[in-house]
Structure 1
Amino acid sequence: MGSFDAITPGTDLPRYARELVRMHDAVISGSRFPMQPRTVVARSWSRVLAAGLSPDRANTRAVLTLQDIEQRRHRSPLHHVIDDLSRVLAAVADSSQMIMVVTDADGAILWRSGDAKVRRHADDLGFREGATWTENTVGTNAIGTALVEAVPVQLFSGEHFEQSQHPWYCTAAPIHDPRTGELIGVVDISGPALTLHPALTALVSAAVEIAEGQLLHRQHERLRRLRETAMPMLASLTGPALLIDDHGWVAHSTGLSPTGRIAIPNTERAVHVPGLGLCTAEALLDGWLVRPCATTTRIRMTLDLSGPPVVITTGDENDWRTPLSPRHTEILLVLHLRGRRGASVTELSTAVHGDPDHAVAIRAELSRMRRILGSLVQSRPYRLSDSVELTLDLGDAGRLCECAFVRTIAGPSLRNLIDHLPTNW
């Protein structure tokens, strides 16, 4: 069984469903039961119980208006690939007592198709277009749990939190925007629990790969059009330069080795580009022209923790101040403390979240952090670039001030790490 598969080939589905329902009732009520929920299910149940949801009734279903649904469809990048998803999944869903559902990043169902009888039963459950299927609204379900865990999730019968969902299975996988790495939605196949087939996880994963591949193809076409539009200007340039789109993807490079992506620039701060050092950016139609602004490639940065966290990047003539979120502050602290040894994605997950199971979320945060700070973090293992000189500003109160501040943002493993730091760190 894969780590996110709910069943194995040959599973006696009726018997296993009865065992899961008994386990659900025992665990939720605090009783003992020989079977324990899978790790991903146990984490979700803990979150849902903490949110105050009830397992023995249908929790409130918020439903969007038709106008809101259409607006979200238009804004979602997935509207470009919904036909591709339908070709892969909808035909199977129509003939196999299942339905296909596609949500946005908020868990709102934007598209639904499949077996008419199953759709009617789904309507009774509130599993319809416009409904929000996050953990906080309807309890443990594959869509909501996939959004939280940022990984594929399959649930069977009593693994759902709400008893009304026990007659169902659901197999969901997140879809990411290849331009940004951000989660933009979830594709799900659901149906009567006793019709679940072990191959569904692979089918859903294949559909996600096709969708992300089509989105990547569209991105390559956008870069080609940007390059063609800017080519007359690029031909007149002297010295190294990059032409990038609004997401930092390089459409053309002059005077340096090609690179795939850099941090997203703006006109108010410099951006670090490997091989060029600090650069300034000039806004173009649908993109940016990036050129060096300094003669040195050494980047001097200060992580200022004397107040709200901010990174100060020192250039030849100006300093650029970049506010950091608590999560990015945690990651930057861990990388600084690890030094040139760096950290694996599982080590970062453990330091920030307290367990190694949030690798996908860590990679997404690192991608966002690169867009804010520039390409300052290297991978395999993750570590600060050799060109970065990072110092900490702890304020007048020194280490005690820093520890008090970090304890307001850090996860348990990171707090433990800080407790065991050398006194002269």
Structure 2
Amino acid sequence: MSSADKTARSDPSRARAVRTAHEKFLAGEVGAADLEIVRPLIAQSWQRSLAKGVDPNIGGARESSAAQHIADMRDRHPLAPALPVIRRLLVEDAMESGALVAVTSADGTLLWVEGDAVAQRKAEQMNFVPGADWSERGAGTNAPGTALALDRELQIHGSEHFSRIVQPWSCTAAPVHDPDSGALLGAIDLTGGVQIASPQTLALVRATAVAVENHLALLRLTGAAPEPAEPQPHLVVLGADRPRWVVTDEFGHLRASQLTGRHADILVLLSRHPEGLSADHLALLLDDKDLDVVTVRAEMSRLRKVIGSPQLGSRPYRLTLPITTDVGEVFAALDAGDVDAALARYQGPLLPQSASPAIARLRTQLSATLRAAVLAEAAEQPQLLRRWLDLPEGRDDRDGWEALHRSAPDTASRAQAGGHLAGIDFALG
């Protein structure tokens, strides 16, 4: 443990200084000197939490659609066979120490929360319950969510939490990986009072994560557990960053290849047309005026060198192996009615630099569908609307700001919405 971590645990005056820095940060009044007292990983997590639209005044984690299917998620989750190991190493002692042990999925959903009964009742007040979303995007800075975001074990001390209602607690968490592929399976968390943020607790949680990974490996060797599914390539095409093709290598490490704009266009179109596309049809979707089939064939040849020949079929051109895409994840969340998840996965417009007419149509469809879904939920969930308006394409959304003005939960938010509306109207003359 670093000296900063030890000081965070042992110095009450530092805890007060962190709390002050947190309040200044939320008020937008923090300077470089104010953040010097805050550990860099915490300051960076606060910034991610704010950028994701987490409300520090809500009652802990956001509700998740997973709560309705938690029993099925538990049965199917790869960490379920290791639950006896976690209970033996952590839960039995937690029962007598006022602490809680939580196990999450890789996306931050709480699957199991066990331990001291009194602590469980108190934790329910911040929605620290099975089915709740404790990722950083769902609850801000917290041990399991931030451990998953950074893929490392860590401790969060009291006032370092982003959400105010969580600040009376301290927590320690470690990620758990698939023993074969190295893929992130979830996290193990120990939550309680100040005693939880100790070097001994960090070592114990880390050792438990290792024991779980070894237990899963043993089950695989003896045939008592199913082999893990092969990780699928993932296509990242939302937002201003350059599009990427992400794969998991034989050691379980993620490898990202940068894509040209044309290659990204092709992969998006093939992912949306699993039946395949002829060279003529693909040329028309990519450019309805100047592209010929010879150019398309040349691009497909170059694309095979980037993503691997087995991934692409021809006559018609198609993806021969399954992939996942960030645009597909947003559409799937919208189809399921989970606007919260769709907004969390939406990093910005689809390939904003693309001139392909088919991509432009899909870009408009995705943005308009997400916007309509957010506006439909504005009265019940104004925090979703606030997150939409923080996106570049939502900043001048007059209907959105008007809806926020009507549904804002406090005077300050209403005043901000009113001021933004005035600015939009001035710009429009």
Question: TM-score category by the smaller chain?
Answer: 0.5 to 0.7
State how 1:225-244 maps to structure 2 within 5 Å.
none
Aligned to 1:289: none
d(CA) in 2 for partners of 1:165 and 1:262? 37
Q: Distance in 1 between matches of 2:319 and 2:133?
A: 38
CA distance in 2, matches of 1:99, 1:67: 22
Q: Which residue is equivalent to 2:92? A: 91
Q: Distance in 2 between matches of 1:185 and 1:12?
A: 29
Query: Which residue of structure 2 aligns with residue 27 of structure 1?
Result: 25
Instruction: Please report the TM-score for the alignment, with normalisation by the length of structure 2.
Output: 0.52
Write the distance in 2 (CA, Å) between the matches of 1:152 and 1:51.
Answer: 22
1:81 is paired with a residue whose SS is: helix
Deviation at 1:93, TM superposition (A): 1.2
State the alpha-carbon separation in 2 of the partners of residues 116 and 246 from structure 1: 37
- Alignment partner of 1:104 is 2:130: no
Q: Give 2:12's aligned amino acid.
A: P
**For residues 209 and 304 of structure 2, what CA distance do their matches in structure 1 show?**
39
Q: Separation in 2 of the partners of 1:65 and 1:208? A: 24
CA shift for structure 1 position 178:
1.1
Q: For residue 19 of structure 1, report the CA deviation from its aligned partner.
A: 2.2
Structure 2 CA distance for partners of 1:65 and 1:182, relative to 1, 3 Å? closer
Mark the CA change 1:116 to 1:311 in structure 2 (over 3 Å): closer, same or farther: closer
CA contact (8 A) 1:142 1:171 kept: yes
Instruction: Give the Cα separation in 2 of the matches to 1:6 and 1:108.
Output: 29
Give secondary structure in 1 for the equivalent of 2:79.
helix
Does residue 12 (structure 1) correspond to residue 10 (structure 2)? The answer is yes
Contact 2:172/2:201 (8 A) holds in 1: yes
Alignment-derived partner of residue 158 in structure 1: 159
The equivalent residue for 1:125 is 126
Question: For the residues of structure 1 that align with 2:209 and 2:112, how far apart are their CA atoms?
Answer: 15
Tell me which amino acid in the other structure corresponds to 2:91: A
- Between Structure 1 and Structure 2, the one with more strand by share is 1
Task: Find the counterpart in structure 1 of residue 184 from structure 2.
Answer: 183
Provide closer, same or farther for how the CA distance between residues 303 and 154 of structure 1 changes in structure 2, counting only shifts above 3 A: farther
Aligned residue identity for 1:56 = N
Deviation readout 1:348-378 (Å, 9 max, x if unpaired): xxxxxxxxxxxxxxxxxxxxxxxxxxxxxxx
Instruction: Assess if the C-alpha contact under 8 Å between 2:154 and 2:172 holds in 1.
Output: yes
Q: Output the TM-score relative to the length of structure 1.
A: 0.52
Partner of 2:190, secondary structure, is strand
CA RMSD between the two structures? 4.0
Give the structure 1 partner of residue 331 of structure 2: none
**Deviations 1:247-303, CA, capped at 9 Å, x for gaps:** 59xxxxxxxxxxxx799xxxxxxxxxxxxxxxxxxxxxxxxxxxxxxxxxxxxxx99
Whether 1:61 aligns to 2:67 is no
Q: Kindly indicate whether the alpha-carbon contact (under 8 Å) linking 1:107 and 1:185 is maintained by their aligned counterparts in 2.
A: yes
* Contact map agreement 2:18 2:159 (CA 8 A) in 1: yes
Query: How far did residue 196 of structure 1 move?
Result: 3.4
Asked whether the equivalents of residues 61 and 127 of structure 2 are also in contact (C-alpha less than 8 Å), the reply is no
SS of equivalent to 1:178: coil
**Map of 2:213 onto structure 1:** 212
Report which stretch shifted further, 60-69 or 31-40: 60-69
Distance 1:166 1:61 in 2: 16
Q: Whose helix fraction is larger, Structure 1's or Structure 2's?
A: 2
**TM-superposition CA deviations, 1:382-411 (whole Å, max 9, x none):** xxxxxxxxxxxxxxxxxxxxxxxxxxxxxx
Q: 1:195 to 1:144 in 2, by over 3 A?
A: closer
Cα deviation code 1:13-48 (max 9, x no counterpart): 533322221121123332344533222112211111
Distance 1:159 1:28, change over 3 A: same
What are structure 2's unaligned runs of at least 5 residues? 232-249, 253-297, 327-429
Q: Is the 8 A contact 2:8 2:157 kept in 1?
A: no
Structure 1 residue 137 corresponds to structure 2 residue 143: no
Q: Secondary structure at the match of 1:45?
A: helix
For 1:199, the equivalent position in structure 2 comes to 200
Match of 2:238? none
Question: Are the aligned partners of 1:304 and 1:310 in contact in 2 as well (CA < 8 Å)?
Answer: no
Does the 8 Å contact 1:303/1:309 carry over to 2?
no
Q: Partner residue of 1:403? A: none
**Aligned AA (1:78):** L
Q: Is the 8 A contact 1:312 1:322 kept in 2?
A: no
Question: Shift in Å at residue 103 of structure 1?
Answer: 0.9
- Percent identical among aligned pairs is 31
